[in-house]
Copies of this chain bind each other. A is one copy, B any other.
Amino acid sequence: MPTNRQILLDNRPQGEATTANFKLVSVDTPALQPQEVLVRHHYLSLDPYMRGRMNDSKSYAASQPLGEVMIGGTVGEVVESQHPRYQPGDKVVGMGGWQEYSVVDASQPGALRKVDTAQVPLSYYLGAVGMPGVTAWYGLVKIIAPKAGDTVVVSAATGAVGSAFGALAKARGCHVVGIAGGAEKCQYAVQELGFDACVDYRPHKDMYSLAKALKEVAPKGIDGYFENVGGMVMDAVMLRMNAFGRIALCGMIAGYDGQPLPMANPALMLINRLKVEGFIVSEHMEVWPEALAELAGLVAQGKLRPRETISQGIESAPEAFLGLLKGKNFGKQLVKLV
């Protein structure tokens, strides 16, 4: 059996996460039991939610146990199978974790999903046509529920979720504004991702300055906001929300290290009669087929061209993950494992 290199969570972060929280180990892959499949991972997905799992405290979901392989989405190829539905060579998506191989009980519903790479590159199933894409779809369609002509805004606009949000919102006739860190990302959002405008938050020292910049590109106010970030960016957007606006709350990356991250003026939720709703896409599996079909269609039509940042080798995962938390990636952050 092949040797499998894995990244374990070795200890929990005290404040900011560091590479010392992780540990690289090598193990042999075990012999397969009936119904099991051995998958060789081609790509590992790195996502902000993983930071929450590293804490012991209550977060999105169960805490990641110490000494176990870090959780994570993977795409790969079946190399050996004891399950009749899977053959060597099949391309599959699963939650293989931060390792080069995984052994999966394929009889568990949802554990593996075969994917078609004729029109959609394999890695996209971890981004635009995967969990991040469905996340954008749920927040836009089920929470923001925009009408054509509505102004919608997304933070972390060039990320995996933001890119998909932009394409989905344009397809619904919205005026779509992104917020991103840096002129290069903003230029990319407009020129490649089809955003109507994008605001670089970095030059803005406070929420009033950023709100003023948003006013210039969203002169009719903001009807829907998809929140990937929290903090000052959210405070600024709230200053520009229209009455009866909707905010889909998906990520608050700036608060994961445990600093208090207050909302400056929650009374705006009352004054403008906003609806603010937090969600986790894995609790809404019923929308996945519809969402994935639309996302795959947008990719096939060239209307969703997500960017990827790819680091090489499982040993690069911790560094790449810490960079993601600081916004160093550009588009979907992946680790290539083959």
Cβ–Cβ contact B230 & A271, under 8 A: no
Q: A285 an interface residue at 8 Å Cβ cutoff?
A: no
Task: Give the complex CA separation of A59 and B262 in angstroms.
Answer: 21
Nearest CB of B to A220, in Å:
16
Q: Look across to chain B and name the residue whose beta carbon is closest to the beta carbon of A255.
A: B267
Q: A66 an interface residue at 8 Å Cβ cutoff?
A: no
The residue that A261 contacts in the complex, of B252, B266, B272, B279, with Cβ under 8 A, is: B266
Residues of B within 8 A of A197 (CB): none
Cβ–Cβ contact B266 & A230, under 8 A: yes
8 Å CB contacts to B: which residues of A269-321? 269-280, 283
Cβ–Cβ contact B252 & A266, under 8 A: yes
Q: A263 an interface residue at 8 Å Cβ cutoff?
A: yes
Which of the four size classes fits the interface of chain A? 20 to 34
Cβ–Cβ contact B58 & A267, under 8 A: no
Task: Give the complex CA separation of A230 and B270 in angstroms.
Answer: 10
Residues of B within 8 A of A252 (CB): 266-267, 270
Nearest CB of B to A64, in Å:
15
Count of identical protomers in the assembly: 2
- Residue of A60, A250, A252 ringed by the most chain B CB atoms within 10 A: A252
Residues of B within 8 A of A275 (CB): 275-278
Residues of B within 8 A of A255 (CB): 267
Q: A161 an interface residue at 8 Å Cβ cutoff?
A: no
Nearest CB of B to A136, in Å:
16
Residues of B within 8 A of A58 (CB): 271
Q: A15 an interface residue at 8 Å Cβ cutoff?
A: no
Residues of B within 8 A of A250 (CB): 270
Q: Look across to chain B and name the residue whose beta carbon is closest to the beta carbon of A251.
A: B270
Nearest CB of B to A283, in Å:
7
Residues of B within 8 A of A199 (CB): none
Q: Look across to chain B and name the residue whose beta carbon is closest to the beta carbon of A277.
A: B275
Residues of B within 8 A of A186 (CB): none
Q: A249 an interface residue at 8 Å Cβ cutoff?
A: yes
Apart from A251-B270, A260-B265, A273-B280, 15 more pairs, CB < 8 Å: A230-B267, A249-B269, A252-B270, A263-B266, A266-B266, A269-B276, A269-B277, A272-B278, A273-B283, A274-B276, A274-B277, A275-B276, A275-B277, A275-B278, A276-B276
Q: List 13 A-B contacts (CB under 8 A).
A: A59-B271, A60-B271, A250-B270, A252-B270, A255-B267, A260-B264, A262-B265, A262-B266, A263-B263, A269-B276, A269-B278, A271-B278, A272-B278
